[in-house]
A and B are shown apart, each in its own frame.
Chain A
């Protein structure tokens, strides 16, 4: 518990430093000025999203191979955290695009693919909510997560072949590309900070899911013992309480 509090404090500090660096230390961009600073968090949230969805994909495969419930818990945690990161990315993107491109949204390959990605994993969460049997919930949603993950490269490829308007890769994208050295340092710091936040939330969500599973199992055990067992237990408790009162 103590370690967790310390880690949370460290991540909070890291986020503060990243925010400060992105807003004040990074040099002003020549054409876009202040609005360009959203890029540090926009890119960082995509990075965190890909890591979270990769965790979900890996956990889904691991669940189907091993059948251990902890992998299912990790899978759903990965998807939930990934969807949050994806939502942040989808909101910060249009905020930047409106002043720079002049439009909120364009049907370009990267935007469309992430939108579909978002829809697919929202469907995953819906599916989990609508499946009742815990075993079925775990295995069927793992299958869906694997199908959805396989679909992502195809969605991207299809859109890429179709039409694209996104900025060409700025980092390592051929001649004339590349960031100012300070900018790339700030970007690295932001990537690290958002990644740490993602991991922190992911671990918490994972623990919550394990606790939920445990609570559901205990509840099931009490119910399967029948009303008699419960009655005896509460009767015993009542007798003890009376005895205590009598003393």
Chain B
């Protein structure tokens, strides 16, 4: 079986599992909303300031929500030791990881799809004319978040206090991604929207580096 097909099967399994309950998605969206609302109390979201702080708030909300959402990705395989069953399947460990990364990418994108319009309304930002460029930035940023987050979810699943550990491992590692994502989003929300190509290339580079590292290290990550 090819890796792509195997990853597709793992992805289908993850999606089926999630859409039976939709627990994870609901909780993620609500959590990110809470963060965005809390920020509006910490900083006054008037029009001029929200252009400056907006992209930062948005990405911090995504990063926090992601670091919580990604935890169950491997942790819930532990309850019935279903990871052993996955590992016994005649597929490469990269296929398992890739399936999970894609699933998390879809969950996170769905959450963003709900959050970005709400955020634009609450902080009085206009999305007209920048939608596709914004989607590109969001996709690249979310890919970096889900690749590293899924790998660290597999790492922290074996540890004690894993819910607390995952953000500790993940958030410092994501600082370059945060800077690049915030800067490129800010360039879109500016008075004269123009996508900053340097930061976009940086985001793509981040994704490539960590996707390659995941591909190289996946056997060690999932070995028994």
> Which residues of A line the B interface, CB within 8 A?
64, 112, 116, 119-120, 123, 126-127, 130-133, 136, 139-140, 142-144, 146-148, 150-151, 154-155, 157-159, 161-162
Contact = CB atoms under 8 A, between A and B. Distances in A.
A64 B217 contact: yes
A154 B209 contact: yes
Interface residues of B, number: 32
A140 B173 contact: no
Contacts of B213: 146-147, 150
A116 B217 contact: no
B202 A147 contact: no
Contact of A150 (B161, B165, B209): B209
B221 A119 contact: no
B155 A159 contact: no
Contacts of A148: 173
Contacts of A131: 158-160
Interface of B: 148, 151-152, 155-156, 158-162, 165, 168-169, 172-173, 175-176, 179-180, 183, 198-199, 202, 205-206, 209-210, 213, 217, 220-221, 223
A158 B173 contact: no
Contact of A158 (B155, B165, B179, B223): B179
B180 A158 contact: yes
A52 to B, nearest CB: 18
A127 B154 CA distance: 12
A159 B152 CA distance: 24
A116 B156 CA distance: 20
A143 to B, nearest CB: 5
B168 A123 contact: yes
A136 B173 CA distance: 21
A76 B179 CA distance: 30
A41 B172 CA distance: 27
Given A143-B217, A154-B202, 5 more contacts: A127-B156, A140-B155, A143-B220, A144-B169, A148-B173
Output the residue of B172, B206, B209, B217 with the most chain A CB within 10 A. B172
Contact of B202 (A119, A123, A136, A161): A161
B172 A123 contact: yes
Contacts of A136: 158
A116 B165 contact: no
A120 B165 contact: no
A116 B177 CA distance: 13
A116 B202 CA distance: 18
Contacts of A142: 220
A130 B165 contact: yes
A158 B178 CA distance: 9
Contact of A130 (B159, B202, B220): B159
A65 B157 CA distance: 23
A243 B165 CA distance: 56
26 contacts: A64-B217, A112-B175, A119-B172, A120-B173, A123-B172, A126-B168, A127-B169, A130-B160, A130-B165, A131-B159, A131-B160, A136-B158, A139-B220, A140-B155, A140-B158, A143-B217, A143-B220, A147-B213, A157-B176, A158-B175, A158-B179, A158-B180, A159-B176, A159-B179, A161-B198, A162-B179
B59 to A, nearest CB: 13
B206 A154 contact: yes
B32 to A, nearest CB: 23
B180 A147 contact: no
A131 B154 CA distance: 12
A99 B173 CA distance: 32
A154 B176 contact: yes
A158 B202 contact: yes
Contacts of B179: 158-159, 162
Output the residue of B168, B176, B206 with the most chain A CB within 10 A. B176
B109 to A, nearest CB: 23
A127 B176 contact: no
Contacts of A127: 155-156, 159, 165, 169
Contacts of A146: 213, 217
A187 B162 CA distance: 44
A140 B166 CA distance: 13
A147 B213 CA distance: 7
A151 B210 CA distance: 9
Given A140-B155, A158-B180, A147 B210 contact: yes
